[in-house]
Each structure stands twice: as C-alpha cells, then as structure tokens.
Amino acid sequence: MKVLRNNLVSLISSFLVLLVCIFYRDVLGLQGVVLISFITTLFLFAFEALVRRYALEKTVAIMKEHDPALFKETPESIERVEEEIALWSKKQSEFLEEYRSREQFRREYIGNISHELKTPIFSIQGYIHTLLDGAMDDSKVAKKFLKRTAKSVDRMTELVKDLEAISKIESGLYEIQLRPVVLLNLIDDSMDTLESFITKHKAEVEVVWEVNKDVQVVCDSARMEQVLDNLIVNAIKYSPVGSSVLVVIREKNDSIYIDVRDHGFGIPEGDLGRVFERFYRVDKARTRNEGGSGLGLSIVKHIVEAHGQEIAVTSKERAGSVFSFSLAKMMR
C-alpha cells in the first residue's frame, strides 16, 4: 500500500510538470520551459519532503504517548536538525547559482559564435549577389569580388578550426606528446612559417638568446610552435606597420621562459584580466579587419597549461605588451 501511494505521488508530480511544460511552451520558449520544469520539480520534491516529515512527526507523537522516555528532545538535537536544513538550503542555492551561470555562459558563447560567423557570411552573400547582378561580366571587378569572397571563407575556416581546437582541449581529446626538443629548431620553424606574414606587414622579428642556443625543452613541438606563432602574429597585428617584435629566450628557476615583446598600442589595465577569454578583443575593429577568430589567445593559454606551464601578460598603453610563457628545461 505504501509503495502504491509513493508511486501515485510520483505519477501525479510528473503529470503536473508535464502540464506546466505544455501550457507555457509557446509563451516562454525552450529555455523558459526547462527553467519552469526545474523549479516545479524542486517544489514538488520539497512538498513531498514536508508531507513525509508531517507523517513522521505524527508517528513520533503517537509513539510518545505510549513511551515518553523513548523520545526526548534536546537543544542539541534541535540544533543539529536546523544545521542540516541550513546546509541543504545552501546546497540548493549554490546549485541554482551554478545553473544560472552555466546558462548565461552558454547564451554568451552561442551569441559570440553567431556574431563571428554572421559577418563573413553576409559578406559572401553580398559579393555573390553583386557578381550575379552583372559584375561577373567585368573580369577585373569579378576577380576583386572573388578575392574578397575567398578571404571571408578563409576567416570562417579559421574560426571553425579554432572552435574545434577549443572543443578538443576542453574535452581532453587534445593530445600533448611530450619529448625533448631543441629550442633553436622550434624557433627557426616558427620564423619560417611566419616569413610571408612578417613580410606582408613590413615587420621585423628579432630573437635574443640569453641562454645557450643548444638548450633543450620538454614539450610538444607542434603545439608550442602554434603558441609562439600565435603570440608573434598577435604582436604584429596590434603594432603599427613596420614595427619590430622582440622574442627573448631566458632562464629562470630551472625553467625556460619565452617573452614576446611588441611596441604596439598596449592593453588597457582593465582588459588585462580578460585577454585570454574566448572571443574577447581589446580592439574589435582592428582584429576583425585582420581576420582573427577571437580564440587565439584562449587556445594559447589552454596549450601552455596542458603542458603544466604558465603564461602571463604585462602591458602599458601606447608602450606595448609582453606575453611570457614557460617551458620545462631538459636536465642533462
């Protein structure tokens, strides 16, 4: 009989939740239904707990009549119950707060992705319609618009690749293969990769060695080259045309540090704590013009931390910035 009653209560509770969801689905949308369902379920659990407590109190009261000595309330027992209730209430509040935070993060994340994809998609759409409206007949104009279309496609491809990288890193699927690496080779490979980009922006990159050039570090060379590439590209983007970037290799506390220093526009003090956040940009217009996805520094931070190392930034407006990250030195 007791099992039947409990099942009946659960069935009625589920039915009530279902009615709430059906009634409000058109008014509040999916997120509203999820939230109402959660709150309604929480209320029903609380109501069921109160019913059970009332039944328990009635049972205890009856038993007290037969044997008063069996149940003796003390200030300590009452205080313990109050503490348990307060603890339960605190946990529920923390759970709801975490739910709200995650929901807000999800909305912002989807909104950022939509915003980043919207610009190149609209650009491509505009170029194609222009070509279809007659620009295709002029080979010179057609070539110009096709180049712009290709640039927008490249930007979308970069964003998708960066999103895939972020997803793999955060899900633990981003493989890091640690092995001894000659740091000089890693630096040279990075300079070769960036040669055309550096030339295009009329920039200069100088490497300063404050340690022996034969020093070895323990890292995933491909991933760390990605880190270095990203930091140098970022330094060039946020500096005036023709500026120089300094890459300093130094040693501290048995670790190797690489500093990427620029003489660019700098980062406002209020933005320093957010530069590694996804989609966060200090100068949104400049980065979009350069084709950045807004995920580069976030990926850099994830890769460095996946190596068990650290990365930091210091900056002064109109004076430049310094991004520094550490590498584990190979001990001989």
CATH code of residue 216? 3.30.565.10
Q: What distance, in Å, lies between the first and last C-alpha atoms of the chain?
A: 75
Q: Measured between alpha carbons, how far is 25 from 36 in angstroms, rounded to an integer?
A: 10
Residue 69: predicted pLDDT: 55
Residue 1: predicted pLDDT: 45
**Do both 256 and 197 map to the same domain?**
yes
- Model pLDDT for residues 24-51, shown as the tens digit of each residue: 555 545 555 555 555 555 555 555 666 6
> Which range has the top average pLDDT, 137-141, 144-148, 174-178, 199-203?
199-203
> Which range has the top average pLDDT, 7-21, 79-93, 304-318?
304-318
Q: Measured between alpha carbons, how far is 137 from 67 in angstroms, rounded to an integer?
A: 102
Q: Measured between alpha carbons, how far is 205 from 134 in angstroms, rounded to an integer?
A: 45
Query: Residue 250: is it exposed, middle or buried by C-beta count within 10 angstroms (0-12/13-18/19+)?
Result: middle
Residue 103: predicted pLDDT: 64
Average pLDDT over residues 160-176: 74
- The helix (H) or strand (E) run that includes residue 267 is none
Beta carbons of 310 and 304 less than 8 angstroms apart: yes
Give the pairing type, strands 244-252 and 311-316. unpaired
Question: What is the Rg, in whole angstroms, of the alpha carbon atoms belonging to the chain?
Answer: 30
What is the residue-averaged pLDDT of the chain?
Answer: 76
Task: Say whether pLDDT at 70 is over 70.
Answer: no
**Do both 252 and 301 map to the same domain?**
yes
Residue 277: predicted pLDDT: 81
Residue 105: predicted pLDDT: 55
**Do both 192 and 318 map to the same domain?**
yes
Residue 31: predicted pLDDT: 56
Token digits of residue 298: 């976030």
Range in 6-10, 223-227, 259-263 with the lowest mean pLDDT: 6-10
In the three-class reduction of DSSP (H, G, I as helix; E, B as strand; rest coil), residue 162 is classed as helix
CA distances (Å), origin 86, targets 39, 56, 60, 227: 19, 20, 23, 48
Sorting pLDDT into bands at 50, 70 and 90, what band is 57?
low
Q: Rounded to two decimals, what is the model's pTM?
A: 0.58
Q: Measured between alpha carbons, how far is 329 from 332 in angstroms, rounded to an integer?
A: 9
Residue 324: predicted pLDDT: 95
Domain extent, residue 126, equals 116-170
Per-residue buried b or exposed e for 289-314, using 16+ beta carbons within 10 Å of the residue's own CB = eeebbbbbbbbbbbbbeebebebebe
**Do both 125 and 64 map to the same domain?**
no
Beta carbons of 311 and 298 less than 8 angstroms apart: no
**Do both 156 and 250 map to the same domain?**
no
Residues 6+ apart with CB under 8 A from 107: none
Structural domains of the chain, count? 3
**Do both 128 and 183 map to the same domain?**
no
Residue 100: predicted pLDDT: 66
CA distances (Å), origin 264, targets 113, 190, 227, 258: 28, 21, 19, 18
Give the pairing type, strands 320-329 and 216-219. antiparallel
**Do both 221 and 300 map to the same domain?**
yes
Name the domain boundary from 82, 105, 128.
Answer: 105
Sign, CA dihedral 276-245-165-187, equals negative
Residue 136: predicted pLDDT: 79
Beta carbons of 17 and 36 less than 8 angstroms apart: no
